Structure 1
Amino acid sequence: MTAEHPAPFVARSASPGARRTGAVRPRAPRGEAAVYAPRRRPRPRPPRAPRLLARLRRAWDRPLTAYYVVMGTGLLITLLGLVMVFSASQIQALRHELPATFYFRKQLLAAVLGTVLLFIASRVPVRLLRALTYPFLACTVALLVLVQVPGVGVEVNGSTNWIAVGGSFQIQPSEFAKLALVLWGGDLLARKGEKRLLTQWRHLLIPLVPGALLVFGLVMVGGDMGTVMILTAIVFALLWLAGAPTRLFVGVLATAAVLGALFIATSPHRMDRLACLGATDPGPGDRCWQAVHGIYALASGGWFGSGLGASAEKWGELPEPHTDFIFAIAGEELGLAGTLSVLGLFAALGYAGIRVAGRTEDPFVRYAAGGVTAWLMVQTVINIGAVLGLLPIAGVPLPLFSYGGSALLPTMFAVGLLIAFARSDPAARAALATRGPGLKWKTKRRRARTPSGER
């Protein structure tokens, strides 16, 4: 622009700081119209709910999220289970003329041993784990056979599934059969997948299904149909992860349903449990007493419960308050808030297990993680569904929560495997490597002072 034709004056709006300090907007020269620059409108912020979901999604996509979720939820469920066992088992112990903390001390010992097993499982190499699957399965089958030997097996609540170890300690081999089937089935399918044999239905089913049927039969001889249901769910999960065709999957499912219906129809005790589904009255002979009082315990808890240790149903009204129906006692003492917290922990554990199985590139890790997740989640659904009156009572404990060392030890080992599998992810391994061993103190680096007179 020349002096004869000066550039038009553009006046900008004063900044917020200028308005606060009383600054005057510059005026345009005389005879010229002021041209003001348009004000920029602030961009609208997204609502808080989508922003929160986006943050949660980013946090969940981090490499170490599944690692910390599995570890945290597993330990929290175990600790909360110890508290509830302490509360729910005291009356049962006193009724059997035992010290009030008898069951709690045994569960605490099992939790300590289980923590050691969890640590070992989280550190064992996958190659060594796969090498031990067949010996572990053989030992489990031998124990299942030993249970049926007269004088060795111990009958509890109509089922012969226990072996007396010494004193008041007993082991239940059918609980270890779940872990053995997961590891053996995972290793078997991984080996067949490496040879590209899983596209043939014969290699997909044999020897997995015959071996599983052998374990099913040994467990059913003892009368434990609840454990057989969980073992069946493990086999279905392995077949699903192996890519079984839909028609083959439906055929196996239909066969299992027919066999299950046959076992139920031939047992009056199981028919009584099926008849108590959704019952609101104990019925003739009080055959639905346990199911009805489980509902009573949950209903009397309200929003926040009657308080820890203040359950009324555990005073002889509800059978097995510290084992199969400990969730009902938790609902009575901790209320809806407590039961929803327990459900949230199990849901987080299951979701993390699914993520571990879905993100790994190792076939064995995928099968084993999927089998463990199916085991824990199906057992949780069966137990809580029975307490809520939605499923027949199957006599299975709530994983990591109910009393029982034989159930707690293999379950904590399985959680340790999930931790190891989550850490074996390449991105998680790289993230852990950047942190280095141990804890790092977040302190500023101090520069070394140079002696006086030196530069």
Structure 2
Amino acid sequence: MTTWTDAPTDRAGGPRATVAQLKAVLDRPMASQHLVVASAGLLLGLGMMMVLSSSSVMAYNSYGDSYYFVKRQLVFLAIGLPVAWLVSRMSRSVLHVMAWLALLGSMVLLMLIFVPGLGSSAGGNDSWLALGSSSFLRIQPSEFAKVAIALWGADVLAQKHKLLDQPRHLAVPYLPLVGIVVALVLLQKDLGTAMVMGLIVLGVLWMVGAPKRIFFTLVLIATAGVGAMVLTSPNRVRRFLGFLNPGEDKLGVNMQASVGLEAIASGGWWGRGLGHSLEKWGRLSAAHTDFVFAVIAEELGLIGSLTVLALFLVLGYAGLRIALRSDRPFYRYLAIGITTWFLGQALINIAVVLRWGPVMGVPLPMVSYGGSALLANLLALGLLLNCARNEPDARELITGKRARQPRPRVTTVVAGQER
């Protein structure tokens, strides 16, 4: 007689074993740090590759050097990586001082843009500051203001975390000072960056546990502000009307969005191949900046596009995990602020490329070309890694390793005797 037995569900290589192994890996003390480094590292590497591919034609036509933009981006990467490493190891007391310096410094830089001769325009935004004749000294302060809002907001709310159940302490001084920064950015006509800053604030307030009426009030104010910014700018009105009527003016206001969508559609599953984009040959002028995702889809196909989305999801999971596992309010609020920034900005950029929203000039974090944006992203990554290193288990492991390190033996000689 033949008897049947159930196959073991936890045999080597089975689903349960795989899940158990994955859980064991994620339970390691430094897992959050490794997730951030892996996902961000791949995004930075992909970004460099796509900046080279998408900008080579424009770089050669404008500067006679196909590597002009990617070489500049590599310089900013070389500057930013050591700074990110240094920031990831800063103590809480140092970050407290940096928080106020960052906020005040960003306000000063944002106001300097309004000084005649210092501010300059690009893409319809008056958000650039020229600190010298070299283009390397032309920065976008609003990018660094995002770092300041995330860092300073986490610092001031952490100091008052026992009083945050009272709306007055939750709002003051956090919302007024952040409001000043956002207002300065809006005065520079940079609506996209202001929206990202608003998302950072909402993410932090969600983690704090703010009352729903505060969320409702802020969303209402933000909606009214966006509406006012659109209605008071002829350029934004044209963009918004172009978004509502995608089939019209394809050689004018809708050209970038239409060409970007054509690039995505032509990529298919696997794409045309790296470096073989057709739209970067003049029709897609923002191929290496705001519409780099369209070139990714054209050259690497749906698989490449989904890979980018997956990397941002992993980074978002890591950031949320850090925030939820942190036992100190400062690191909890800082982690969620940076995570909301990266995910929110990525979603806005991709939504614009897919024509789910009007064009507003928001780069894809860590992927699009831009020195100020890349340096700000690397600073934020350094802060996120700092939060990961201060998870309870990670902090205990790091402290234990330092305690176990052998100390050098010091001897002194007094009157011919060794001590």
- How far apart are the structure 1 equivalents of 2:402 and 2:91? 20
Q: Shift in Å at residue 142 of structure 1?
A: 0.5
Give the corresponding residue for 1:183: 151
Task: State the percentage of identical aligned residues.
Answer: 40
Q: 1:157 aligns with which of 123, 141, 144?
A: 123
- How far apart are the structure 2 equivalents of 1:254 and 1:214? 18
Q: 1:137 aligns with which of 103, 108, 121?
A: 103
Q: How does 1:341-380 map to 2 (within 5 A)?
A: 341-380=307-346
Other structure's SS at 1:96 match? helix
- How far apart are the structure 1 equivalents of 2:128 and 2:117? 11
Give the corresponding residue for 1:421: 387
Other structure's SS at 2:267 match? coil
- How far apart are the structure 1 equivalents of 2:155 and 2:243? 38
Q: 2:188 aligns with which of 214, 219, 222?
A: 222
- Normalised to the residue count of structure 1, the TM-score between the two structures is 0.83
- How far apart are the structure 1 equivalents of 2:97 and 2:253? 48
- How far apart are the structure 2 equivalents of 1:278 and 1:49? 47
Query: Over aligned residue pairs, what C-alpha RMSD do you find?
Result: 2.1
Residue type of the partner of 1:68?
H
Q: How does 1:36-47 map to 2 (within 5 A)?
A: 42-46=5-9
Other structure's SS at 1:154 match? strand
Other structure's SS at 2:163 match? coil
Give the corresponding residue for 1:167: 134
Q: 2:302 aligns with which of 330, 336, 350?
A: 336
- How far apart are the structure 1 equivalents of 2:262 and 2:246? 9
Larger radius of gyration: 1
Residue type of the partner of 2:149?
L
**Does the 8 Å CA contact 2:185/2:194 hold for their aligned counterparts?**
yes
Q: Shift in Å at residue 225 of structure 1?
A: 0.4
Deviates more, 1:250-259 or 1:393-402: 250-259
Q: How does 1:39-438 map to 2 (within 5 A)?
A: 42-46=5-9, 48-165=14-131, 166-169=133-136, 170-193=138-161, 196-277=162-243, 280-281=246-247, 283=249, 286-431=252-397
Deviates more, 1:57-66 or 1:341-350: 57-66
- Normalised to the residue count of structure 2, the TM-score between the two structures is 0.90
- How far apart are the structure 2 equivalents of 1:71 and 1:184? 24
Q: State the number of aligned residues.
A: 398
1:110 to 1:279, Cα distance in 2 relative to 1, 3 A: farther
Other structure's SS at 1:161 match? strand
Q: Shift in Å at residue 139 of structure 1?
A: 1.0
Q: Deviations over 1:39-75 (max 9, x none)?
A: 9975532384454344333332332211101011111
Give the corresponding residue for 1:27: none
- How far apart are the structure 1 equivalents of 2:317 and 2:371? 25
Residue type of the partner of 2:8?
R
**Does the 8 Å CA contact 2:250/2:258 hold for their aligned counterparts?**
no
**Does the 8 Å CA contact 1:278/1:390 hold for their aligned counterparts?**
no
Q: Shift in Å at residue 227 of structure 1?
A: 0.3
More helix by share: 2
Q: Which runs of 5+ in 1 are unaligned?
A: 1-37, 438-455
- How far apart are the structure 2 equivalents of 1:79 and 1:162? 26
Deviates more, 1:262-271 or 1:303-312: 262-271
